[in-house]
Amino acid sequence: MRWGLAAFITVALPVAGCTVDDTAVPTVGGPDAVMVATVDCGDDGAATVRATFGSRDTEELSVAKAPAIASADTVPIYSDEFRAEDGANESALTIWTSPTRGVCTTALTDPATGNVLVQVTSPAAETVEGLVKSDG
């Protein structure tokens, strides 16, 4: 009896843990698929944000709300919509956030459903990735 229970626990628990894929890239799909990326560093935080999407040029900007650290070149919150590019079945999105002060939250959202696909809050540099498919 003891041997059977131990064998069940040894075999069943690892298998149960394998059913969840925490490494899957968040994906939206369909002819009108859109993914929204946002970076918010709170009232006193700041960060450098780099966005790469499909064949677009990499965009780099500064995010800050506090008047003491904000400038004409900063935005209070980074937010952008990403749609599948013409002629591409899928386009990869990468958002790299490197806080220079405070803690920043980087998120990818599906505006059609309101679902937050991935969200990371950290004082350290973080990268989130997503995939926008035109074919669903």
Tens-place pLDDT, residues 31-42: 889 999 999 999
CA 13 to chain CA centroid, nearest Å: 30
- Cβ atoms of 14 and 72 within 8 Å: the answer is no
In the chain, which ranges are E strands? 27-29, 34-40, 46-53, 59-64, 74-75, 77-83, 90-101, 104-110, 115-122, 126-133
Closest by Cα among 132, 89, 134 to 109: 132
* The pLDDT of residue 23: 61
Identify the segments of the chain with pLDDT beneath 70: 1-23, 136
Strand order in the sheet with 27-29: 27-29, 126-133, 90-101, 46-53, 59-64, 74-75
| Domain limits, the chain | 22-133
Tens-place pLDDT, residues 77-87: 999 999 987 77
Q: HSE (CB half, 13 Å, CA atoms) of 17?
A: 6
pTM of the entire structure? 0.80
